[in-house]
Amino acid sequence: MKFELQHTDPRSNARAGVITTDHGHIETPVFMPVGTIGSVKAVQMTELKEDIKAQIILGNTYHLYLRPGLKVLEGAGGLHRFNSWNRPILTDSGGFQVFSLAGNRKLTEEGAEFRSHIDGSKHFFTPEKVMDIQRTIGADIIMAFDECTPGDADYAYAKKSLDLTERWLKRCIDRFKETECPYGYRQTLFPIVQGCVFPDLRRRAAENVASLEADGNAIGGLAVGEPTEKMYEMVELVNEILPKDKPRYLMGVGTPANLLEAVERGVDMFDCIMPTRNGRNGQIFTKNGILNMRNERWKEDFSPIEEEGASFVDTLYSKAYLRHLINTNEILGLQIASVHNLAFYTWLMREARKHIIEGDFSSWKRIMVERTMQRL
């Protein structure tokens, strides 16, 4: 994987670049739709490519390992062939999912023992096994196995967790170097900066990760319960240390305003389930604010979902029609809302890139943060 830094905003740390993988180029900053179990919920691949204009999507190691399983993925020739996506893919290591199973997992030096959320069966992830699983899945960019510390963890726990994550990281790197992608193309391993909300731990983690000279680096353990301002503070601190000539990926974040604030602080890559999850619950993100489509006010509003929106659904359907579909639990409503929100998120990052290149990102960003946070 290669990264070319093309432009930096003169008034902030916002950057525009291009990541090159064996499955294609990715212009940054970029939002990556989440396809946890091999599909982005309620959205077809043709819509992702042609309408939403997604450049890269995510899969999840934990979920794909459980279903459909490695035998199926290997038989298909990897996830790209299995789900018919011929552009780049990134896989999360499953660390966050194991973290979320707090009542059904046990961490040891060797790895993480957990019970499946599907049938209660017992499984054991080691750093080495997680590397092997991600080799089999075949994503272009894969993540190191880490412990995702809760946002409200105390210092002693956060330090102990970071110590473990760093030991696991070394094992991930060793295993990655010993193995190859079984499908004939190259994969890249991103280490993850942890450390909760403690500046000295984040600084230590970022310095360790920077010293490894990986092709790209991730910032994890944020948007997990800590105050938003703390998240921004940690991103700023970490990005002062991480190499400027490598892409930076902020994991699992967030609202449109979160993305823009993080872009301003030097982040290049984002993913979040919010566009599809919130869309399925009737929440629509637009360039002028947030709509709750369940509200009575849209019942007889026959104007487009969003004037000059980023997707064909925005002018094809009215607010009244989308409200009707959402309130009657019609599957089409979930599809329209998901497509709209994903198209908006990818549009927002394309616009951010355009304004970085034009040199007026900071002034544009201030306006957009205020607008996108409004409740309409």
Judged on CB neighbours under 10 Å (0-12, 13-18, 19+), 355 is buried
| 224-230: long-range pairs with CB below 8 Å, 24+ | 224/148, 224/149, 224/150, 224/151, 224/252, 225/150, 225/151, 225/152, 226/151, 226/152, 226/196, 226/197, 228/258, 230/151, 230/197
**Could you report the per-residue pLDDT of 309-327, keeping only the tens digit for each?**
999 999 999 999 999 999 9
Is there a catalytic annotation at residue 301?
A: no
The one catalytic residue among 92, 140, 268, 314: 92
146 is in an annotated binding site: yes
| pLDDT tens-place string over residues 40-67 | 999 999 999 999 999 999 999 999 999 9
Q: Is 92 annotated as a binding residue?
A: yes
Q: Where are the beta strands (DSSP E) in 224-315?
A: 248-250, 269-271, 283-286, 289-292
Domain spans of the chain? Answer: 29-272
Q: Is 184 annotated as a binding residue?
A: no
Query: Which residue type occupies 124?
Result: F
29-272 maps to which CATH number?
3.20.20.105
Residues 6+ apart with CB under 8 A from 213: 243
What count of other Cβ atoms lies within 10 Å of the Cβ of residue 67?
11
* Confidence category of residue 283, pLDDT binned at 50, 70, 90: very high
93 is in an annotated binding site: yes
Phi, psi of 253 (to 5 degrees): -125, 135
pLDDT of 102? 66
To the query of whether residue 119 is one of the catalytic residues in this protein, the response is no
Is 96 labelled a binding residue?
yes
Judge whether residue 96 has pLDDT over 80. Answer: no
Question: What pLDDT, in 10s, does the model give residues 168-222?
Answer: 999 999 999 999 999 999 999 999 999 999 999 999 999 999 999 999 999 999 9
Query: Of 137, 141, 136, which is closest to residue 28 (Cα–Cα)?
Result: 141
Structure tokens at 65: 């390992």
Q: Is 95 flagged in the annotation as binding?
A: yes
Tokens of 40: 């982005």
d(CA 118, CA 190): 29
Q: In what order do the strands lie in the sheet with 122-125?
A: 105-107, 112-115, 122-125
Identity of the residue numbered 196: C
